[in-house]
Chains A and B, each alone.
Chain A
Amino acid sequence: MKKFLSLVLALIMVLSMASFASAEQGASVVVGLAGDPGNIGPFQGMGLGRIGILFTTYEMLMVKDGDSFRGCLMKELTPVDDLTYDVELYDYIVDQAGNKLTASDIKFCFESAKATGNLPKLASVESVEVISDYVARFHFTALAAGDLESLLMECPIVTQAAFEASADQMATDPITTSPYQVVDYKTGSTITYKRNENYWQKDELLPTTSKHNVDEITFKIIPDPVQMVNALKAKEIDISAAIDGSYISDFMGVEGFDVTQIPDNTTKFLVFNFDSIPNAAERQAIAYAVDVEDIIAFAFDGIGYHAKTIGNTKYPDFVPAWSDEEYYEYDEEKAQSLFDEAGVAAGKTYRLLYNVADDNTKIVTTIQAALMDFGINVELIGYDNALFGTYKYDDKKSGEWDIMLDEAGSSNLLTNVWKLSLDRRDQTYGKTIGHVLDDQLQTLIEAAINDNTPENMDAFHQYLKEQCYEYGLVSKVNNLAHTTVVTKAATCFRGQILPGACEY
């Protein structure tokens, strides 16, 4: 008996030594996450915490790899007609529990996701039909430019068998086809993933999002920005995309650390309320009066760039020529003459609605100071995220602001950034959020959304710029800092870290 025990002990020791040895090769990574993902089940809305863990947890039919889309679970996409497409799956996909993924699972996922109402874009998927084991036929109600790819990327895919085996609809223990499996989720604190040794895809066919260069991944939720910096300094985390700009110098060029700057997909912009500022000259005057370079210096520590439209330059349908165009660059004289033309005299007061979060207070204070140079007052109306999110779409509140600082981004196209605030079909009261009711604007945006050719894009952009209903301020840049354990950082299109695709 004793001998047996000592044998077991010796075995355990050898095994643990072995696992320790592999751990020494930098086989685990800790990622600092600012937002709390909450429910990590497949059919949740894209809340802010969720985007950080999305591609580590799930695979989709298609993914965005760098700037282009490619199949992930999907092998082949065949159009049947304008609104019908056949999706062929790889025929060897298995999830972490060993269930085979077939076309009926695709139908199940899209139908379940649609039923929750959490992924509203899926409303344009009319139905999914199972053609054979590995072919699913998608029927769409309508497809605007770029919609097909983003719809096939919208819904995380799991097997029906695994989903139904979960007691809490995978809120804490998803079983997916991803190379990483959740092994421990302490809500509000950490999520730990282990590499799935039986991952289905061949290495040569992997999209970036499915790469698996590390054995173990831990996401650590650290809401406080200073503590994020401290955790990285103490090397408790290896990498974070949420390092405050003013702390970058603590890591840039410092032994043991490295910094990468990646453009964020969101852009800050001003919305003018047409009800109170109906005169285009007045809106243009305000745009000229604000020095965006000042905003970048004060609010972003010099890291960021002046937007050229409502959205950044990263979108595929951004027209490169815009980069060289004049876009309300700061011009005191022009601003003054436009104010004079519009009959705006010193002593005028604008009410500026903004979301008291991040750098917004600094942005609005800079705007306030800039307009003060023209003798114009700006009364700030700041609300927390929840209140702002409600008031900005609230028709009844629109009488309380003249200018609004807003922020928007999209996962694929510039038109999707525009439509959030400028397509009146997407508002509950039939006007843009700036209360514009302009048929020409509407015609142009509909044309651009339906077919985002450079001509259509440019027509809308030029008209919007001329009318200055909205004015793009700053496209943000995220600071991604990491220890030298990570030799090359990889991110998804939203600027979130893909720990499996980083190099170690």
Chain B
Amino acid sequence: MSTAVKDTHVGVRSRRQGQFGQVMHRLRKNKVAMIGLVVLVLLILMAILSPYITPYDYAKTSKANRYALPSWEHPFGCDAMGRDILSRIMYGARASLWLGLMSTLVATVIGVLLGSLVGYYGGKVDNIVMRILDIIQAIPGMLLSIAISAALGSGIGNTILALSIGGIPMTVRLLRGSILTVRKQEYIEAAEKINCSKWRVITSHILPNSIAPVIVSVTMGIGNTILQAASLSYIGLGVQPPTPEWGAMLSEGKSMLTKYPHLCIFPGLAIMIVVLCLNMLGDGLRDAMDPKLKN
């Protein structure tokens, strides 16, 4: 008996790996997605290596270079304190990518777990979880962040918590909506009839058919998350100057937008590239996971 149970587990595991392999295989064939992935990996590498490769010290101020326009010495120009914007963007990738990607990941994982739970079980579980989300979503994000900072203190973990908490309800709602449409379809009921474990029904039958809206929403949301990180530094979370961070660079340049637009344009472009890459990757991932496209 025990061996039989073990066997099915092994079976499940290997089949799941097979499925994962298939997804990866299809993803690898998708050129657009691969470009997105490569650029993203390059950005992450740049972030990791930035202490060694930035052309200037990101914190070095200079009266002579205030608002310097892009030039050969300073390809992206200099900011209000005469600091090199290129170096700040390169170094700023550390905080921005780390905060942006991590909090998106955390929000997605929690959101998908909760969403599958309420979508699959429905009924009381659905009602209670969704009503709790109604309550949480009613609280303005800024207040939640201040409360987190006041109650739990500063630190990178709490910053990620503050950034991710706002993204969870949307993920849950999207997933719940899609699961509701597939929940009673024949193939799900068939899978349940042949005694598939609930976990397996959710992961291999329900999620692949309902995850698409979540991928779209999550990959588009990362830009906002990076921007939001800037406002957290005022309430004891996030990063403090002079450590650069893209969202803070944008908001610093905001008052100079019409006079010295390069202060805003380059950090803005950096954020846009991340959003673009993540979306290219997300589209590819969605296509690769779509069971209807299996071939």
Contact = CB atoms under 8 A, between A and B. Distances in A.
The answer to A–B direct touch (Cβ < 8 A) is: yes
Interface of A: 225-226, 229-230, 244, 246-247, 250, 294, 297-298, 356, 361-362, 364-366, 368-369, 372, 379-384, 387
The 8 closest A-B pairs by CB, nearest first: A384-B234, A356-B234, A380-B240, A369-B61, A225-B255, A297-B63, A365-B241, A298-B81
B258 A379 contact: no
A250 B259 CA distance: 9
A133 B60 CA distance: 69
Contacts of A372: 59
A298 B255 contact: no
Nearest to A225: B255
Nearest to B260: A246
A244 B255 contact: yes
B236 A387 contact: yes
A369 B16 CA distance: 55
B157 to A, nearest CB: 19
Interface string B211-244: 0000000000000000000000111100011100
A352 to B, nearest CB: 10
A57 to B, nearest CB: 29
A381 B240 contact: yes
A298 B258 CA distance: 19
Contacts of A229: 258
A364 B241 CA distance: 9
Nearest to A247: B259
Interface of B: 59-61, 63, 66, 80-82, 146, 233-236, 240-242, 252, 254-259
14 contacts: A226-B255, A246-B259, A298-B61, A298-B66, A298-B82, A364-B241, A365-B61, A366-B61, A369-B60, A369-B61, A382-B241, A387-B146, A387-B234, A387-B235
A226 B254 contact: yes
Nearest to A388: B234
B150 to A, nearest CB: 9
A387 B235 CA distance: 7
A381 B154 CA distance: 11
B81 to A, nearest CB: 6
Contact of A365 (B66, B81, B256): B81
A383 B231 CA distance: 10
B259 A382 contact: no
B19 to A, nearest CB: 48
Identify which of A361, A366, A379, A380 gathers the most chain B CB atoms within 10 Å of its CB: A361
A246 B240 contact: no
A384 B241 contact: no
A297 B254 CA distance: 19
B147 to A, nearest CB: 12
Contacts of A247: 259
Nearest to B154: A381
B254 to A, nearest CB: 7
B148 to A, nearest CB: 14
A380 B235 contact: no
Contact of A356 (B66, B81, B233, B259): B233
Nearest to A294: B63
A369 B57 CA distance: 12
Contacts of B66: 297-298
B252 A230 contact: no
A233 to B, nearest CB: 9
A244 B82 CA distance: 18
Identify which of B59, B240, B256 gathers the most chain A CB atoms within 10 Å of its CB: B240
Contact of B236 (A225, A230, A246, A383): A383
Nearest to B231: A384
A231 to B, nearest CB: 13
Nearest to A297: B63
A464 to B, nearest CB: 30
B181 to A, nearest CB: 43
A366 B236 CA distance: 21
